[in-house]
Structure 1
């Protein structure tokens, strides 16, 4: 746990001071939510307001609007949902603070929760997005538990205030009661849900009035009014906002930095990402209060400070970003020191040297050559075939960061190539999908190498695997569903006995872990009652905290 880890020895000198200064400029955060809460739309709005793009795209393809920069896969464009996480880096300056934002957009759908979990290992803060009409939803609750477990501070955003929704005080009570996180609103809506006029800035007492733009494609103009002029402009809506803000103050619901960083309270803002209302305020809050990088904790429990020699860990591998080049990008979070393109690092898993000739800055699917990076930055390492999620890279002083666990799969299907003549492409494609973490791959002597079993947290992972095998890897596959729903780790010495059990199959994951697959959780419970001497280990469940 990061809050009890000891610090590794500090590194001093002018170079270390320069690294520390650069680290203080970084804000690295993820946007998390239940599906359809507006996460990718908010990501697009943040990039727009930071002037990193000139016009916001659309998730569902409104006429004349392009797609969003974060949802670039064909399936994402067609379905209007995020299937894979995306990194976006851009500069942003406000009130004399010049920062570099590393924004990670995550899949909201539960089937891709493993990808979201990997991203949450690489951030210092999370923006939790809540639909104004629906409040807390199941996937939001699960992701909050992950953040709590990893001690990640959360900024809450209630989105879609331009549509009919629930009472704001009711939403705040729900957050407090259901997850035990005390909301401390920084802005408060002027106008009920569905009639969003602007927000009361509780820090200044002023009214920030928004003006709609055509389709929300450009930044919404905003006007800052004093309380007197606010009353003239918004009338009873302003008076109601002031009254409710005073109730919050009387209840002690004001921002407190210590409880925010201690994951006991959550600063809260109201937005309409689709209209770009309230987005500037969120960007400013991220710069002002989100924590900068403070160092990463190693497997030994010591925190490597940002000013220590270079280190980074890989949290994601992605291929298929450029149809004209079949390269793979390993996304790595810089934890300490200065990254210089071309230098030779050590791959902690193998102990072998790793040359960083092809380092890139990633903005969605767009990539540019990267020469230097600092703690908190996300870098893309191209053609990094040796890297896997959870791997550590370092220079000079060795360090190993904790591995990223694989979730317990609940869906299993046999994969077979449709074209026997493409057995090499089939084998390479399955291997690539596994290395990226799209699916887990299980094998056994019984089924053979040409019939691996794909294991997934959710069935949509199979759809992604099937689509990519056909479109990117030119090796179409067909899937045969298997009647298993539970997997447990077993000792190899028990494999022969387990294989003889009814409704059970033993398979080996590519990393060497041996799994027993059970048809149902009741079958598992019955086996455990009948065979108490057989030890069965659990994998990380998608809903575990």
Structure 2
């Protein structure tokens, strides 16, 4: 430590590049990576006892409530071994399939990975896919068997699975427990010994990879980066290669529990830069930072644009909130680069945005975050996927929204996206899992027994069939034991039709969906029944119809609320009653012409949750 002229204590670190280790954690959801990360921070004294709480790195309330990691988090630790000081940069990653984009960004900024596997559950599908991602980037893998303190741990069985998967020796696998702290010292020692130091040239032109960014209402956009080559000093004039924008590095530093300023950062360092950027669009995750005066020859490669899988319209409940929703979306996109959105309008819901998500959990989380962080009440339309429509004139159109489908007479055929799904389940549930997948128009590709108790099933499935409730159903039939992972394989022709919902003959575009011909009738029937329950009664009859093109396939009627106009007629001639009823009938007819039907928000929500 030394004092600067202003009397501020500065931490002066003379750590050479060979003593830096950058690593991430790969694990399936709920395999205990956040708890193990807590122990690493505790042992290296990065977090004081006073600041220590469970899941230190999960700083969103949502993450703590659901017990999952949503954002990747970076933190720097100091560690001493055999008298030498080391700097360890940990980038914690999410485990759910919907957040695999966050994982790919973290992996790109690391040289090594801790592969954490739950000793009570064994290897899961998501672990395998994230592991392949790490192997593609040539990361050094350290296998760790977690939750060894539990009585139902089966270390030998799970060790055999790990050896089969990555071909390591039994001695290479560290037995640990995030709860008791067992094996944490071995992990830190192994990180220093096995993970290579960053490669690069501190004297070369600056090349820094942006792997994350956050928005601060006082400081603007803060970008997190890893320096691949070169050195950056506070006050340097820098340039972002892809956006071609130029800034001054007002403040740079490293990420500890908070942000810690530094005068200089060099090759291998992971840190942050604040340069007064006010517009979220100016920072792209995966961009390269370089010096304005001495730029690098080309941007860093290996970072792909995110491809959203599920599309849904997001509309403010009050149309006056449209601009607030736009700024909330911008800030969310900055914090979550896998969210894409573009403006659209709907006859039923007014102005809103067409958003692309990585999956249903991702969509749910975005909705929750809009509500909690920005106090935005939104309606989300029926989620769907993108289709390729081939017209009779030979054109190919990509359709994200059922209302964007051309006229039926001009359509030659429609292609829908397919996925290759990997499901790992206990042997007892294979029958039910197969039935579920075959009901969803799936094709069994492969069945492989990992052990006598566990099997891996591969299916080709249409993506449109799994965006609704596939994951929930899979979890319930397998009593929570099945794990699911998928990747897109391409497009295949399908017999799809557009199912419209009409209220009193008027189409409600927000409830339209593209659906397979075989499922259209039962789905239309169920949607009509559900809407009949939820739409409040008016003073006139409301006809709820499901239609394919001009053909009505289902109908329900919400009966009118009627006042008994003949109540005051006691006795007397029947013509008096008839006259009053005729008068009422005319009024109802007139009211039907001017009255409009409001669809309540819970009706949109209920249609999303239809079985």
- State the alpha-carbon separation in 1 of the partners of residues 218 and 45 from structure 2: 29
Aligned to 1:345: 238
Q: 1:439 to 1:289 in 2, by over 3 A?
A: closer
Post-superposition offset of 1:464: 2.5
Secondary structure in 2 matching 1:452: strand
- State the alpha-carbon separation in 1 of the partners of residues 400 and 90 from structure 2: 48
Q: 1:441 to 1:122 in 2, by over 3 A?
A: same
- State the alpha-carbon separation in 2 of the partners of residues 37 and 56 from structure 1: 26
Aligned to 1:480: 381
Aligned to 1:157: 144
Aligned to 1:47: 41
Secondary structure in 2 matching 1:481: coil
Cα deviations by residue, 1:100-152 (Å, 9 ceiling, x for unpaired):
11101111122211111111111110001000111111110110110121111
Cα deviations by residue, 1:400-432 (Å, 9 ceiling, x for unpaired):
112622444332211001232222211112223
Aligned to 1:308: 204
Q: 1:473 to 1:38 in 2, by over 3 A?
A: same
Q: 1:422 to 1:171 in 2, by over 3 A?
A: same
Aligned to 1:538: none
- State the alpha-carbon separation in 2 of the partners of residues 499 and 338 from structure 1: 45
Post-superposition offset of 1:351: 3.1
Task: Identify which range, 463-472 or 149-158, moves more after superposition.
Answer: 463-472
Post-superposition offset of 1:458: 2.0
Alignment of 1:134 with 2:27, yes or no, is no
Aligned to 2:3: none
Contact 1:314/1:389 (<8 A) preserved = yes
- State the alpha-carbon separation in 1 of the partners of residues 416 and 336 from structure 2: 20
- State the alpha-carbon separation in 2 of the partners of residues 379 and 504 from structure 1: 46
- State the alpha-carbon separation in 2 of the partners of residues 418 and 326 from structure 1: 31
Alignment of 1:526 with 2:493, yes or no, is yes
Post-superposition offset of 1:75: 0.6
Alignment of 1:421 with 2:320, yes or no, is yes
Alignment of 1:294 with 2:196, yes or no, is no
Alignment of 1:393 with 2:289, yes or no, is yes
Contact 1:358/1:369 (<8 A) preserved = yes
Alignment of 1:368 with 2:260, yes or no, is yes
2:269 to 377, 384, 387: 377
Secondary structure in 1 matching 2:35: helix
Alignment of 1:148 with 2:135, yes or no, is yes
Size of the aligned set, in residue pairs, is 399
Contact 1:438/1:465 (<8 A) preserved = no
Aligned to 2:371: 470
Contact 2:146/2:177 (<8 A) preserved = yes
Contact 2:20/2:198 (<8 A) preserved = yes
- State the alpha-carbon separation in 2 of the partners of residues 151 and 279 from structure 1: 24
- State the alpha-carbon separation in 1 of the partners of residues 400 and 263 from structure 2: 56
Q: 1:37 to 1:165 in 2, by over 3 A?
A: same
Alignment of 1:283 with 2:188, yes or no, is yes
Aligned to 1:197: none
Post-superposition offset of 1:521: 5.3
Cα deviations by residue, 1:436-471 (Å, 9 ceiling, x for unpaired):
335432447675993222221222222322233233
Alignment of 1:103 with 2:87, yes or no, is no
Aligned to 1:34: 28
Post-superposition offset of 1:480: 1.2
- State the alpha-carbon separation in 2 of the partners of residues 433 and 49 from structure 1: 34
Aligned to 2:609: none
The 5 A counterparts of 1:52-63 are 52-55=46-49
Q: 1:505 to 1:118 in 2, by over 3 A?
A: farther
Secondary structure in 2 matching 1:154: strand
Off by >4 Å, runs of 4+ in structure 1:
444-449, 494-497, 499-507, 516-524
Aligned to 2:362: 461
- State the alpha-carbon separation in 2 of the partners of residues 500 and 169 from structure 1: 50
Aligned to 1:336: 229
- State the alpha-carbon separation in 1 of the partners of residues 399 and 121 from structure 2: 48
Task: Identify which range, 392-401 or 39-48, moves more after superposition.
Answer: 392-401
Post-superposition offset of 1:27: 0.3
Bigger Cα Rg = 2
Aligned to 2:524: none
Contact 2:229/2:267 (<8 A) preserved = yes
The 5 A counterparts of 1:4-43 are 22-43=16-37
Q: 1:359 to 1:497 in 2, by over 3 A?
A: same
TM-score by length of 2: 0.59
Aligned-CA RMSD value = 3.5
Cα deviations by residue, 1:19-73 (Å, 9 ceiling, x for unpaired):
997221110000110011110011111111111123398xxxxxxx734320111
Cα deviations by residue, 1:355-406 (Å, 9 ceiling, x for unpaired):
1103232235x22323222222221223444211110011224231126224
Alignment of 1:452 with 2:348, yes or no, is no
Secondary structure in 1 matching 2:173: strand
Secondary structure in 1 matching 2:187: helix
Aligned to 1:120: 107
Contact 1:26/1:375 (<8 A) preserved = no
Cα deviations by residue, 1:163-196 (Å, 9 ceiling, x for unpaired):
134543332321232x2x122344xxxxxxxxxx
Contact 1:20/1:307 (<8 A) preserved = no
